[in-house]
Structure 1
Amino acid sequence: MRIVVTGGHGFVGSALTSELLRRGRFRGEAVDSIVLLDKVAPPGAFDGVPLIHTIRGELVDTLPAAFAEPVDAVAHLAAAVSAECERDFDLGMRANLASTLAVLDAARTQRAQGGPLATVVFSSSVAVYGSDPAVPLPPVVSETTLPTPQSSYGTQKLACEQVLADFTRKGFVDGRVVRLMTVAVRPGKPNAAASAFVSGIIREPLAGVEAPCPVGRDVQLAIASPRRTVAGILRIAEVERGDGPGQLSGRLPVNLPALTVTVGEMVDALRAVAGDAVADRVIHSPDPAIEAIVRSWPARFDNARARALGLEPDLDVADVIRHYLDDHGITTPRTQ
């Protein structure tokens, strides 16, 4: 089983790769090779792991080498994120739409030349949704809700979903779409996503650093921990297609299970888990542009489709924070 992960050295890509290595199997078969495609790779990342091969460069340029041998599955995670796509339209079109088309064309060519039908799992986003004046969002969103994105990023993700569905209909690939919630808590430095503050208001205070919060306490978010996110991607990648119980039916995307919280509830949970001194490092710093983007995203989801596939949301925000502390060996006065 040979698996390609685009954006393989990013946070989700690295977590997914680590989980694949831990399991050692995919769809009941031994994982023989994992190819990570990324522009950069941190020094030492997966060095010495026999199954791992990294190809560095722009995604489109690395695909010929990745598909030089048969590819059984692709986890397509590489993307430009929301805020940078708003600032640089051409970047978003190139990094999100054009790169996805290149991945699909490579998989289609492999199949046309007698190679395996590649499973392509595409990481989409809840940013495909938005409240349009003619079609306002319902209070609770499901996969059957009409997507009307209100950002370039969301529009690009939606376009990729539709092209992938058509490639699947034509038999070129076995395409599966996973719509990710805001993943929290991410380690490392903040990125250019409009949602970057969601991890920042937990991560930075725990590291002794003040964290600006660009939105109000009342803003609602749909979040998922890294653990639940990786489990969801792999479940959708591996699940059998069909109309029976526990099978993936049709070509509809799957919204990963969402834990709905307000920003205020996140800060309050941080206070309960780590104490006042930590929580007081969250500083309200309004940014109307960021708040407008974030408020356009839905926060309440019908998780029935994911639940039918065995996926559940995180228990609560405190549980998400404790997972972060455990995963990264962080202690606070209240956890020592």
Structure 2
Amino acid sequence: MRVLITGGAGFVGTQLAHRILADGSPVAVDALTLLDIAEPRPELLADERVRALVGPIGDRLDEIGEVDLVLHLAGVVSGAAEADLDLGMRTNLDDTRALLDLLRAQRDGRAEPATLVFTSTLAVFGRDPELGMADVIADDTIARPQSSYGTQKLMAELLVADYARRGLLRARQVRLQTVAVRPGAPNAAASSFVSGIVREPVAGVRAVCPVELDTPISLSSPGATVDALVRAATADDATWGSPTAVVLPGLTTTPRAMLETLDRLAGEPLSDLVDVEVDPAIAAIVSTWPATFDARRAAGLGIEAPASIEAVIAEYLALVGRPAAG
């Protein structure tokens, strides 16, 4: 199988690449292309099945070649898309359409269309100024994005579903939770602090929480997110069902609960390194995001949330080689 991962040098893309290249993977990879604006990790490039395309999707489209499975993770995240409308439109919508048209052009002469796993976002839901927001978000809740990022992703969702309806591709659309805890440097996502308030204190660095400590947030772990993407890539049409997007399950928590759990698992008060400095712009975005979900369709597909916030933070501590306290 010829596989393409856009955003393949990012954290989730890297974890996903490792998973599908591993022995016993349910994805039978003959060739894997990692497309990103940065180089993939060296250990991935050491695999003879892997090649890298570095640059924006639109600049490298002609070099992708025939593909059987596309896992489309690339995008401009929430804060950056809000700050730069043109960048968000170009990356989140125009590049997605370019990929769709690549798969459309490759459909002729093939017995089966390629599969596209499209990573959308729960930012397609928002607190409408007039209508408010549903107490619990389900797969059939009407999307009312309150950010450019959520709007761009919703437009792309509709295009993906329509191309699937026309038989031009097989659609697997998932609305991702905030993924935490991510290692590395902070990104421009409004939700970046969700990882930062754990990651930085573990490294002995001060961090800022830009929202009130009791702000409800929903998240999932990197491991659970990769599990969901692999499930989406390998499910047959009858099992997956509708080409419309699936809400992925998550944990509802607060920054306060995360910090209390971090202190307990670390065995020391790392939360002392976190300063609460409310940023009105970030708080305004985060306050429009839902925090409670009914992910019934995902559950029927065998997709699960992490067991607890303890499991999420313990996963990160294990990743950085710090054992959790008893």
CA apart distance, 1:115: 7.2
What fraction of aligned residue pairs are identical, expressed as a percent?
Answer: 45
**Which amino acid is the alignment partner of residue 266 of structure 2?**
A
> What is the CA–CA distance in structure 2 between the aligned matches of 1:125 and 1:161, rounded to whole Å?
10
Which structure 1 residue ranges, 4+ long, deviate > 6 Å from structure 2?
A: none
Is the 8 Å Cα contact of residues 110 and 116 (structure 1) preserved in structure 2? no
Corresponding residue for residue 129 of structure 1? 125
> What is the CA–CA distance in structure 1 between the aligned matches of 2:124 and 2:115, rounded to whole Å?
22
1:210 aligns with 2:210: no
Corresponding residue for residue 178 of structure 1? 174
User: Mind listing any 5+ residue stretches in structure 1 that lack a counterpart?
Assistant: none
- Cα deviation code 1:312-334 (max 9, x no counterpart): 111111111111111231347x3
Is the 8 Å Cα contact of residues 97 and 157 (structure 1) preserved in structure 2? yes
- Cα deviation code 1:225-270 (max 9, x no counterpart): 000000001101211122xxxx112222111111110111111111
1:322 aligns with 2:318: no
1:151 aligns with 2:147: yes
Q: Say which SS state the counterpart of residue 280 (structure 1) adopts.
A: helix
- Cα deviation code 1:260-285 (max 9, x no counterpart): 10111111111111134312111111
Q: Say which SS state the counterpart of residue 223 (structure 1) adopts.
A: strand
Corresponding residue for residue 191 of structure 1? 187
Corresponding residue for residue 307 of structure 1? 299
Two-structure CA RMSD over aligned residues (Å): 1.5
Distance 1:241 1:168, change over 3 A: same
CA apart distance, 1:194: 0.2
Corresponding residue for residue 17 of structure 1? 17
1:278 aligns with 2:270: yes
CA apart distance, 1:47: 2.9
- Cα deviation code 1:82-136 (max 9, x no counterpart): 0011111000000110000000000000012547511000000000001213432
**Which amino acid is the alignment partner of residue 330 of structure 1?**
R
- If the length of structure 1 is used for normalisation, what is the TM-score? 0.93
Corresponding residue for residue 120 of structure 1? 116
Corresponding residue for residue 164 of structure 1? 160
> What is the CA–CA distance in structure 1 between the aligned matches of 2:59 and 2:111, rounded to whole Å?
21
Between the two proteins, the alignment pairs up a number of residues equal to: 326
> What is the CA–CA distance in structure 2 between the aligned matches of 1:97 and 1:33, rounded to whole Å?
26
Corresponding residue for residue 289 of structure 2? 297
CA apart distance, 1:26: 3.9
Q: Say which SS state the counterpart of residue 218 (structure 2) adopts.
A: strand
> What is the CA–CA distance in structure 1 between the aligned matches of 2:72 and 2:185, rounded to whole Å?
22
**Which amino acid is the alignment partner of residue 185 of structure 2?**
K
> What is the CA–CA distance in structure 2 between the aligned matches of 1:132 and 1:2, rounded to whole Å?
42
Is the 8 Å Cα contact of residues 71 and 116 (structure 1) preserved in structure 2? no
1:111 aligns with 2:107: yes
The partner residue of 2:91 within 95, 102, 110 is 95
Distance 1:114 1:239, change over 3 A: closer
The partner residue of 1:54 within 47, 52, 55 is 52
Is the 8 Å Cα contact of residues 24 and 31 (structure 1) preserved in structure 2? no
- Cα deviation code 1:122-161 (max 9, x no counterpart): 0000000012134321111001000000000000000000
**More moved, 33-42 vs 111-120:** 111-120
Q: Say which SS state the counterpart of residue 46 (structure 1) adopts.
A: helix
**Which amino acid is the alignment partner of residue 92 of structure 1?**
G
Corresponding residue for residue 36 of structure 1? 34
Is the 8 Å Cα contact of residues 82 and 194 (structure 1) preserved in structure 2? yes
Is the 8 Å Cα contact of residues 76 and 122 (structure 1) preserved in structure 2? yes
Map residues 70-81 of structure 1 onto 2, 5 A cutoff: 70-81=66-77
> What is the CA–CA distance in structure 1 between the aligned matches of 2:40 and 2:34, rounded to whole Å?
12
Is the 8 Å Cα contact of residues 130 and 149 (structure 1) preserved in structure 2? yes
> What is the CA–CA distance in structure 2 between the aligned matches of 1:103 and 1:262, rounded to whole Å?
37
